[in-house]
Amino acid sequence: MLDDLYYDSVELLEQLIATPSVSRDETAAADLVEKFARKNMPGEVTRHNNNIIITAPGFDPARPTLLLNSHIDTVKPVEGWSRDPFTPETDQHGRLYGLGSNDAGGPLVSLIAAYRFLASYPQAYNLLLVASAEEEVSGKNGFESVLPLLPSITVAIVGEPTGMQPAVAEKGLMVLDCEAHGLAGHAARDEGVNAIYKAIKVIDRLRTLRFERVSETLGPVKISVTQINAGTQHNVVPDTCRFVVDVRSTDAYSNEETLEIIRRTAGDDITVTPRSTRLNPSGIDIDNPVVQRLILHGRTPFGSPTLSDQALMPFPSLKLGPGSSSRSHHADEFIYIDEIREAIELYVRVLHMLKI
């Protein structure tokens, strides 16, 4: 059965590569996954926007629920591809090339295969799979829109390229729009209050800011000033200076707590406005049965600096999937087809007859 699942998975991945599915334009890929699910996956198949939800037979609200999730969308092709990003091609080394092959087509088809195996046998938990849209842009019509439709989730596995090592924590993200206020004046005279100088002082404080708590798996909160803009012309003292701060939060603080510390550090002369606080840091207890089974199978937990739909999950979750994060968003993206076979086998060994 595992051989058949593997061959089906590679074929489905090749079809997904050949079906452009850039974020917010995933309809054709969602159609493909939905059609495959209705033909091959036991249980109830529903669709919300371009998200496909499959619920295994025998759902019982009294039992715990395991969610499997990965995404169908991709980033736009970057410059530098030496081949057509939408033409699947396998070389003599077993590398399957194509946009989304690694992030996250390989993890998605591997989880679909694992679902098909697990749903064929009685399990001690309810089983769901969500193939989600708009992950690469954290879009409102992606996984977040599905959350109200889901039952209570006990634990989730998010399919992302981690080399099949469990990412037990993931950094969150906040983008902050900051504005320093001064007073305009003529640059030739000693007048006005230069907003750039105010901003520089705050930027330096943020550069040297150290948070008291440090995550065991993710390290310190990371703050980077990435954009700055001020002034109208050379001889006018600017009364406004705007800058953007990229914040990678950790499970040591909630996004709201991190934001409050940054605001106190910036002081009263700077307005700090988050574009969003919804992309939270996330993680799972190392003692969770899923993590413990992975450790028993020789896997090493780690903290991930990259963002996924895990940031939108208000329940315990971990990232686990074939492929390497270093190949994502690069020209000539690929996955080894043997990684897909290994992933299916590990998912099944860890999750079959699991008690959560």
Confidence of residue 190 (pLDDT cuts 50, 70, 90): confident
Please give the biggest Cα pair distance in the chain: 82
Q: What is the pLDDT of residues 78-98, one digit of tens each?
A: 999 999 999 999 999 999 999
Structure tokens at 184: 């305009």
Confidence of residue 283 (pLDDT cuts 50, 70, 90): confident
| pLDDT score recorded for residue 191 | 86
Chain position carrying tokens 């371009």: 50
Task: Please give the C-alpha separations between residue 320 and each of 69, 110, 118, 205, 299, in angstroms, as whole numbers.
Answer: 10, 11, 17, 37, 10
Q: What is the pLDDT of residues 228-274, one digit of tens each?
A: 999 999 999 999 999 999 999 998 999 999 999 999 999 988 999 99
Structure tokens at 152: 């209570």
* Residues 317, 285 contacting (CB under 8 angstroms): no
Q: What is the pLDDT of residues 323-337, one digit of tens each?
A: 999 999 999 999 999
Q: Find how far residue 155's CA is from the centre of its chain.
A: 16
| pLDDT score recorded for residue 52 | 98
pLDDT at 1 over 90: no
CATH code for the structural domain at 2-170+281-351:
3.40.630.10
* Residues 15, 28 contacting (CB under 8 angstroms): no
| pLDDT score recorded for residue 81 | 97
Q: Nearest CA to 239 among 206, 197, 272?
A: 197
CATH T-level assignment (fold) for domain 174-274: Alpha-Beta Plaits (3.30.70)
Q: What is the pLDDT of residues 112-156, one digit of tens each?
A: 999 999 999 999 999 999 999 999 999 999 999 999 999 999 999
| pLDDT score recorded for residue 50 | 98
* Residues 279, 312 contacting (CB under 8 angstroms): yes
Lowest mean pLDDT segment, chosen from 121-130, 162-171, 274-283 = 274-283
- Mean pLDDT (the chain) is 96
Percent of the chain with pLDDT over 70: 100
The HSE-up count of residue 57 (CA atoms within 13 Å, CB side) is 10
Mean pLDDT of 44-66: 97
Structure tokens at 94: 């077993």
Confidence of residue 189 (pLDDT cuts 50, 70, 90): confident
- Domains of the chain: which residue ranges? 2-170+281-351, 174-274
| pLDDT score recorded for residue 228 | 97
Mean pLDDT of 183-201: 92
